[in-house]
Amino acid sequence: MNVVDRFIKYVKIDTQSDENSSQTPSTQKQFNLAKEVEHEIIEMGLSDISLDNNCYLMASLPANTNKKIPTIGFIAHFDTSPDMKGENVNPRIVKNYDGKDIVLNEAQQIVSSPSDFPELLNHIGEDLIVTDGTTLLGADDKAGIAEIINAVQYLIDHPEIEHGKIRIGFTPDEEIGRGTDHFDVEKFGAEWAYTMDGSEVGELEYENFNAASAKITIQGRNVHPGYAKNKMINALHVANELAAMLPADERPECTEKYEGFFHLIGINGTVDKASISYIIRDHDRDIFENRKNQMQEAVASLNNRYGDRLKLEIRDQYYNMREKVEPVKYIVDYAFRAMEAVGLTPNVKPIRGGTDGARLSFMGLPCPNIFTGSLNFHGRYEFLPIPSMEKAMGVIVKIVELVAKDYGAEE
């Protein structure tokens, strides 16, 4: 099965995760794809196959040489984002894209235009996989799964390519920040790995945000508005005061590259009681800690003004993997060399977000992130250039080949 057919089969299986669920996986339907992939890798003849009760699937391609070559891994995730409908995905292929608007859904007048998404123009002349405008595509991260499986099949079909033991792993619930909660690093048994979970062709990432969530609950004091003077404390107004105390130019819509932010993601409530939720992000660990301190100081100031009516809960979510990857930078270099070998110019950049690889790196499995080729994640305008998928497959194969050559030369 070619990588396109495999990908299209995968995206038609609904695997949307649910942040409101406390179970792992957060949705049982993720097992539908896990069992399909398990069936495929059994037929391929892989070994050490295990699908556990938490929907973590692992397997091995045994080494085809007696040389002492490190075991390396490749990882992707089953789930798709809760941000957009993920069932009844109906992908189609736009042949030889001409650089013009793509009508995704004529009946609903949904159009993907290069005037809105100029990255489309980087793929003129290529075949693109797009949505029908009513769902996301699910290339994040089903493209990664398909690329890993087809790369492994290529290695099986080409035994002349010498390689060590290859581990592959697929996880649930990455999109809701729980993708590594039950990942058994010792069982996986790789010296290092790569997540196939990036975007544009050529992207290579080993830096990501330090991340925290902040939730503030505010107890107001509701009094009849006709008699409220010097009595009422409107929890909604206090929430707005808090938002105004944080720097307006340090929001996601005002930042890029290495710039961090405070991102207001929710305000809920009434005069009597309200809650306000933020995510806090920064690549620099010291600045990240300062941002958390800013939030604490803002809450303390309002508590001083209103009499301890605000409660703040800050929870660290993940940290910048650079701290763990940089001491073994050669694993990034392998990916860089592999991209060059397949004709790409590597684009080494920080992730303005996080991946499973960030947490895995702190769990003892250094894990840079490699492109899948897909763009405009989590929405109806998501698309995937087919040549980019093929390049991602090629990068996986080439990494395996380069590692075997380098370590084989040391024997």
Residues designated catalytic: 79, 174
Q: What are phi and psi of 309, to 5 degrees?
A: -100, 0
